[in-house]
Amino acid sequence: AQKITQTQPGMFVQEKEAVTLDCTYDTSDPSYGLFWYKQPSSGEMIFLIYQGSYDQQNATEGRYSLNFQKARKSANLVISASQLGDSAMYFCAMREGYGNKLVFGAGTILRVKS
Partner 1 sequence: GAVVSQHPSWVICKSGTSVKIECRSLDFQATTMFWYRQFPKQSLMLMATSNEGSKATYEQGVEKDKFLINHASLTLSTLTVTSAHPEDSSFYICSAQSWTSGTYNEQFFGPGTRLTVL
Between residues 46 and 81, which has the closer beta carbon with respect to partner 1? Answer: 46
Between residues 35 and 68, which has the closer beta carbon with respect to partner 1? Answer: 35
Nearest distance from C-beta of residue 16 to partner 1, angstroms: 27
Tally the C-alpha atoms within 13 A of residue 36's C-alpha that lie toward its C-beta: 27
Residues interacting with partner 1, by CB under 8 A?
37, 42-45, 47, 50, 89, 91, 95, 98-107, 109
Nearest distance from C-beta of residue 59 to partner 1, angstroms: 13
As a whole number of angstroms, the distance between CA 77 and CA 74 comes to 10
Between residues 78 and 103, which has the closer beta carbon with respect to partner 1? Answer: 103
Contact 103, 36 (CB under 8 A): no
Between residues 79 and 92, which has the closer beta carbon with respect to partner 1? Answer: 92
Nearest distance from C-beta of residue 26 to partner 1, angstroms: 16
As a whole number of angstroms, the distance between CA 106 and CA 9 comes to 8
Q: Which phi and psi angles does 33 have, rounded to 5°?
A: -130, 145
Burial (Cβ within 10 Å: 0-12, 13-18, ≥19) of residue 69: exposed
Nearest distance from C-beta of residue 71 to partner 1, angstroms: 26
